[in-house]
């Protein structure tokens, strides 16, 4: 941005107003005052004059010497005409920090709105962790408008002992302040993030089981194992895990298999069911007089 004249007053931080959903906030009305129009015409005349005399200035070397001073004069004239940033309106912001958006815009109250580079600002906003898409525009005479589509949290992903929040595409949103997302499903293991939406959708097909799930683990990059809140693990096959999940729902409803002293339920073979007892149940069965 062109350097400002040293006489320019210290700038205050731009106001930021966020609105959720698709609302665009208050109507942005532009009231063209006569003095603003006259000032703009004057600025345009100055720029045209500079362009017209550019060759002579370049040859004489004056263009290099006076460039910063001219830019400062133009910038001051634009701001004095009323085209200075006074407000930033963020539409669609829910989780992204307000200060992070302001920092990405790199604009302060009092900056020339005509010198504001909306495309460069959009690129910086898109780099924010919560932002999936963004549009940045100027609303003359004094407002910067930012439309944001945020990423939707899907699950907590645990990899190598570290937890992160991911969206439905498996992209990491953040690994900070995850406590408020503790009720989301948890997926564990290498490759689990990119397949999370698929497995979470499958688990939801059986709501009575889904409510009891603590986490789902990606095993060997091929299949899933489901860990329930009571510690039971269900091993699903690589092919058609949905059929085995439906089968487990039926066994749970008819035989309460998830409520027994079982450590592992292996559903990887479609025509067989293997179970591993808990250590306590196994010890009990080994006692004399018990069936084997």
Is pLDDT at 2 greater than 50 in this prediction? no
Amino acid 4: pLDDT: 38
What span, in angstroms and rounded, lies between the C-alpha atoms of 15 and 21?
A: 20
For residue 170, give Cα distances in angstroms to 165, 184, 219, 229, 241. Answer: 9, 14, 17, 24, 20
In the chain, DSSP assigns E strands to 15-19, 87-91, 131-139, 143-150, 153-159, 162-167, 172-174, 186-188, 213-219, 223-228, 233-235, 262-266, 274-277
Q: Is the pLDDT of residue 225 over 70?
A: yes
Residues with Cβ within 8 Å of residue 103, at least 6 apart in sequence: none
pTM for the predicted model, two decimal places: 0.70
Helices within 136-206 (DSSP H only): 196-203
How many whole angstroms separate alpha carbon 22 and alpha carbon 94? Answer: 12
- Looking at the DSSP bridge assignments, the partners of residue 133 are 149
- Given a contact cutoff of 8 angstroms between Cβ atoms, the answer to whether 104 and 123 are in contact is no
Phi, psi of 98, rounded to the nearest 5 degrees: -60, -45
Q: Is the pLDDT of residue 28 over 80?
A: no
Answer yes or no: is pLDDT of 36 > 60: no
The per-residue pLDDT for range 112-147, each reduced to its tens digit, is 888 899 999 999 999 999 999 999 999 988 899 999
Confidence band of 283 (pLDDT split at 50, 70, 90)? low
Whether residue 51 is predicted with pLDDT greater than 50 in this model: the reply is no
What does the block give as tokens for 145?
């408008």
Give the pLDDT confidence score for residue 270 in this predicted structure.
Answer: 87
Q: What are the φ/ψ torsions at residue 122 (nearest 5 degrees)?
A: -60, -45
Mean pLDDT over 215-242 rounds to 96
- Residue 108 confidence (pLDDT) above 70: yes
Dihedral sign from CA coordinates of 173, 175, 180, 184 = positive
- The side-by-side arrangement of strands in the sheet containing 162-167 is 172-174, 162-167, 153-159, 186-188, 213-219, 223-228, 233-235, 262-266, 274-277
What is d(CA 123, CA 142) in angstroms, rounded to the nearest whole number? 21
Q: Is 38 left (phi over 0), alpha (psi -120 to 50) or beta?
A: alpha
Name the DSSP letter for residue 179.
G
Using DSSP's 3-state secondary structure scheme, residue 173 falls into strand
Instruction: Identify the pLDDT of residue 171.
Output: 95
Distance, C-alpha 80 to centroid of its chain: 38
Domains of the chain, each with CATH number or no CATH: 15-150 (3.10.20.310), 153-286 (3.40.50.11690)
């Amino acid at each position: 941005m062109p350097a400002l004249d040293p006489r320019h007053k210290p700038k205050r931080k731009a106001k930021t107003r966020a609105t959720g959903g698709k609302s665009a906030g208050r109507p942005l009305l532009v009231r063209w005052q006569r003095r603003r129009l006259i000032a703009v015409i004057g600025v345009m005349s100055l720029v045209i004059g500079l362009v017209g005399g550019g060759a002579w200035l370049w040859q004489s070397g004056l263009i290099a010497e006076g460039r910063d001073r001219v830019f400062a004069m133009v910038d001051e004239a634009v701001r004095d005409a009323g085209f200075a940033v006074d407000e930033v309106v963020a539409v669609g912001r829910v989780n992204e920090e307000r200060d992070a958006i302001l920092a990405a815009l790199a604009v302060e109250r009092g900056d020339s709105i005509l010198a504001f580079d909306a495309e460069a600002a959009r690129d910086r906003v898109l780099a924010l962790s919560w932002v999936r898409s963004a549009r940045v525009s100027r609303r003359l005479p004094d407002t910067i408008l930012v439309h944001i589509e945020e990423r939707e949290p899907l699950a907590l992903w645990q990899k190598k002992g570290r937890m992160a929040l991911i969206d439905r595409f498996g992209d990491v949103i953040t690994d900070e302040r995850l406590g408020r997302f503790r009720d989301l499903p948890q997926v564990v293991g290498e490759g689990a993030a990119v397949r999370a939406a698929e497995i979470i959708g499958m688990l939801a097909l059986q709501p009575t089981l889904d409510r009891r799930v603590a986490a789902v683990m990606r095993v060997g990059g091929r299949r899933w194992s489901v860990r329930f809140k009571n510690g039971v693990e269900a091993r699903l096959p690589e092919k058609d895990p949905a059929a085995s999940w439906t089968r487990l729902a039926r066994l749970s409803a008819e035989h309460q298999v998830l409520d027994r002293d079982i450590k592992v339920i292996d559903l990887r073979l479609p025509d067989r069911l293997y179970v591993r007892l808990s250590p306590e149940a196994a010890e009990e069965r080994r006692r004399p007089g018990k069936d084997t």
